[in-house]
Amino acid sequence: MPGPANADALLPLAAAAAAGYLLGSLPFGYLVARSRGVDIFSVGSRSPGATNVRRVLGAGPGNAVLLLDVMKGAVAAGWPLLAVWGALGAGGPRVLGYAGLAAALVGHSFSCFTRFRGGKGVATAAGGLVVLMPLVATTSAAIWAVVFLASRYVSLASIVAAASLPAMAYALGQGTVALWVSGAVALFVIFRHRANIGRLLAGTEKRFERKRGEPAGGTP
C-alpha cells in the first residue's frame, strides 16, 4: 500500500497529467474551421493541425491555430513550474512539467472532444519545449526552418526537427531526464507522421505552396 509520502507525490503528478491532457485536447483547429463552416476532418489532409487549416482556410486561421496549439503546450508544461510541490523536492516542478507536456501531446493527438482524433503534436510539443528546454527548442526550430526552406515540405521539416531533439538535449547538456523526454517526444511526433513518411518515400507528399501575396513560411 502506498504511504502518505507516495500519495503526496502521486497526486500532483496525476493533476499535472490530467490538466495537460485536457489542455492538449482543446481542438482549436477543429473549432476555428467549424467557425468558418468547415469540418476540418473531412477536407484536405483531414488533420486539425495548423498546416491543414492554413491550406484550407488561409494564413489567418492557420496562424491562429498554430499560436493556440503552441500556447496550450506551453501552459500544460509551464503551470507546474509556478506551483510549490514540497513533497517532490527541488526537481519536482520540472518533472510535473514533463508530465504535463507528455499528456498534452496525447490529448492533442487523441482529443476526448473530437472522438479521439487530432493532430500530430508539433506545435504543442514546441510550446512545451520552449518552456522546459528553451535552448533545445530554439535549435530544433532553426533546423525546422532550414529543412523547410530547402525542401518546402512541412512534414519533412517536422520529422527532422523532432529527430534532432534528443541529440540537441545531449549536446547542450540538458540532463538525463530531459534526454529521455526529448527522445520520447521525438518518437511520438515521428510516429504521428508515419503516413507522411510513406508519401515522402512514394514522392506523393504535397509541398507547401505559398499563395500570392502571403509571406514566406509554413506551419507544422
- Show the cell assigned to 38: 468547415
**Does a structural domain hold residue 216?**
no
d(CA 111, CA 48): 11
Burial label for 109, CB within 10 Å (0-12, 13-18, 19+), is buried
pLDDT more than 70, % of the chain: 87
What stretch of H or E contains 189? helix 176-192
Q: How far is CA 198 from CA 70, 85, 159, 170, 195, in A?
A: 26, 44, 12, 29, 5
The tally of domains found in the chain comes to 1
Is the per-residue pLDDT at 103 higher than 60? yes
CB 216, CB 210: distance < 8 Å: yes
- Show the cell assigned to 119: 493532430
Burial label for 67, CB within 10 Å (0-12, 13-18, 19+), is middle
**Does a structural domain hold residue 30?**
yes
**Does a structural domain hold residue 155?**
yes
**Does a structural domain hold residue 217?**
no
**Does a structural domain hold residue 209?**
no
CB 69, CB 29: distance < 8 Å: yes
d(CA 198, CA 122): 18
**Does a structural domain hold residue 219?**
no
Half-sphere exposure of 158 (CA within 13 A, CB side): 31
Average pLDDT of every residue of the chain:
89
**Does a structural domain hold residue 15?**
yes
Q: What is the reported pLDDT for 213? A: 46
- Please provide the DSSP assignment of 98-141 as one string: HHHHHHHHHHHHSBTTTTTB----HHHHHHHHHHH-HHHHHHHH
- Show the cell assigned to 183: 527522445
Domain region containing 189: 4-202
Burial label for 120, CB within 10 Å (0-12, 13-18, 19+), is buried
**Does a structural domain hold residue 213?**
no
Q: What is the reported pLDDT for 84? A: 57
Q: What is the reported pLDDT for 10? A: 83
What confidence tens digit (pLDDT) does each residue in 58-78 have? 999 999 999 999 999 999 999
**What are the start-end ranges of the E strands in the chain?**
none
Q: What is the reported pLDDT for 73? A: 97
